[in-house]
Structure 1
Amino acid sequence: MKYKLEWLYKVKSNDKIQCSSDWITGELAVQFAEELEATGKVTELYFYDEAGTSWILKEMKKLLAEVEEDPHEITVYFDGGFQKETNQAGLGAVIFFKQGKKKYRIRANQRFDEMESNNEAEYAAFYFALNILEDLGVHHLSCEFKGDSQGVLKQLEGEWPCYEETLNKWLDRIEEKMKTLGLLPKFTVIPRKENKEADKLATQALEGKDIFAKTLIL
């Protein structure tokens, strides 16, 4: 989750200037706020998250202490593969996140039967990744989702319409899951070469190789 600071700065004429920061991490925001308050010239200092919720410094410190051990700073890569001959899909997901002071990566896949198209496999892979986030206890956080399926991501953003009934059902399912988890999603289209790991996991799922691995990143 990123946070923005807003405050009033008192100049020599006793006038007050409204100031604000860029979106920064919670730890950096608290450090910055403490340094601002140390000047003795700052009043009405508030923190805002991406959902518009506000806190004062004392509340912000308590919040960070509470979420320190929860997964955060989450980036999800997803990809779906499809075999027309068998109507099977391979779903691949790679998830990077921080927990405490440590960084982790999860690699996971799943084979899914009775798919109709590669586009449906992409939606199923996205939903598969959401289920992993739910199992991790992720909720009310901003998450970045990266994939090479421009159609899926643009439809999830609401920029492109979706006319296929089957895909609309997946859209509804995904949106409901994100709403339940309270996620603030960011969708990023990436080239296929940057999505090789999720693509490989999807292929391995079609080959019958089940993978779920959580790795500490050193």
Structure 2
Amino acid sequence: MDYPPDYTKFYVLRDTPATRPFRGDFVNQDDWFSILRGEQMPKEMVVVKHTEGTRIPSQIIYTSPASPLLFHEKLIDKFVKEGISGWELFEVDVLGKSDEIYNGYFGLSIKGRCSSIDYASSLIVYREFPGGSFPYFQGRYFKDNYWDGSDFFMENADEFGATGFQYCSERVKRILDELKVKSIKLEKLTEFEIDVNTVKIGSPGRLPKGITFTQK
């Protein structure tokens, strides 16, 4: 494991901008955020129901923000074969638009960890909008460069709580590229941008000390 880690080889797992892929939502009531973070597992058999997109699900199914992604067993088999680490599975029944059942899907809880984000290490860039020029943090870097070496990982909770950002290594990306998975977006950590105001409103304590951010 490299120290400091090579951030150009890390990716954020995000919903794809396209509206076409099969999307679903959990029918069960459960603490999906804790399940996503691998802090607990579902209490009963999990059912995910089609909400939008194509009738036929892709190899990865997006559910909702800060909730587990669903992976087809073809991908899981490849992860096992390649020694991909940092995850745990739970069984899922996927229901289509007309309640038809699609077998072979599993929810993925993420057990790997990195430290929380150090926004002082991010670049500040300005993006133009009709209302003016607004500051963004570009790049996500871990405090003390801590990463446990897992291929799937999330941030450790800090004094301000936990986040739902899901990360993966370049090894995972290579597998998704090889199997031509298009239903999820991977964005390099070094290129990822987040509005400074989003952090200011949601987690003001995480803002770097002594820096003033202004709209131009």
TM norm structure 2: 0.26
RCO (CA 8 Å, sep 6+): is it higher in 1 or 2? 2
Q: TM-score, normalised by structure 1?
A: 0.26
